[in-house]
Amino acid sequence: MSQQQRRPWIVGVSGASGTPFAASVLRGLLDAGESVDLVVSRASRLTLLDETGIAFRDAHWREDLRSWLARGADGKPDTFAVGGGALERVRHWAAGDLAAGPSSGSYPAKGMLIVPASTACVAGVALGLSKDLLQRAASVTLKERRTLVVAVRETPLSGQTLKQMVALDEAGAVVLPASPAFYAGATHIQDLVDFVAGRVLDAARVPHRLYRRWEGELGGGSRERA
């Protein structure tokens, strides 16, 4: 695909706990044939190292991303097959690169998914700050009236954060707390992670098969477990 034809989803990963959510969203986008521009904040690299043992390095980002996406939510490596062809559709931008493509409204993008989103990230985007590429890309997404999904991962929520979440909603963003449901018949931690990732992709209108959808019939999840 030529650069003129490519219209990626920008995926921003902030420093909140929940790197498995980001991995599931990325796998879902790639499985759907989407292109991805990835921005991994400095704080999120510490979280990723703590939660997975993976050090995300700018100079070796493709190798590190493959290890991350192959890892299950339970910590087991090589749980998922990650093809090289899929990774060819990913472009990585350093978080400190404010001259990167996603920093401009003229850069062609479908929208942006921030997963997980920390409260600091929520505050920065709500206030229109651009301290790094993640925040700048989110501001651009809002001003260009593109889809912005903010998967907040924090509990409890302070009054100030709640006000900032309302501000994001009023600005046109989809505020999507990382809250898994249980009606889909979850039997594994990966099921709960995939439910949240699936709801993020639903908000972006990206097709996926990450969770069993509600069909108006009670007991469907328990029957699947049986």
Question: What is the CB neighbour count within 10 angstroms for residue 103?
Answer: 16
- The C-alpha atoms of residue 178 and residue 14 are separated, in whole angstroms, by 13
What does the block give as tokens for 142?
A: 């809002």
Q: Report residue 13: phi and psi, to 5°.
A: -115, 115
Q: What is the pTM of this model?
A: 0.94
Kindly tell me if the per-residue pLDDT of 218 is higher than 90.
no
Q: What is the mean pLDDT of residues 75-104?
A: 95
The pLDDT score that the predictor gives to residue 226 is: 47
The pLDDT score that the predictor gives to residue 220 is: 67
- The C-alpha atoms of residue 138 and residue 147 are separated, in whole angstroms, by 10
| Residue 146, C-beta contacts closer than 8 angstroms, at least 6 positions apart | 109, 110, 111, 112
- Identify the bridge partners of residue 11 per DSSP, sorted by sequence position: 38, 113
Kindly tell me if the per-residue pLDDT of 160 is higher than 90.
yes
Among 77-86, 117-126, 167-176, which stretch is predicted with the lowest mean pLDDT? 77-86
Kindly tell me if the per-residue pLDDT of 75 is higher than 80.
yes
In this structure, what DSSP letter does residue 213 have? P
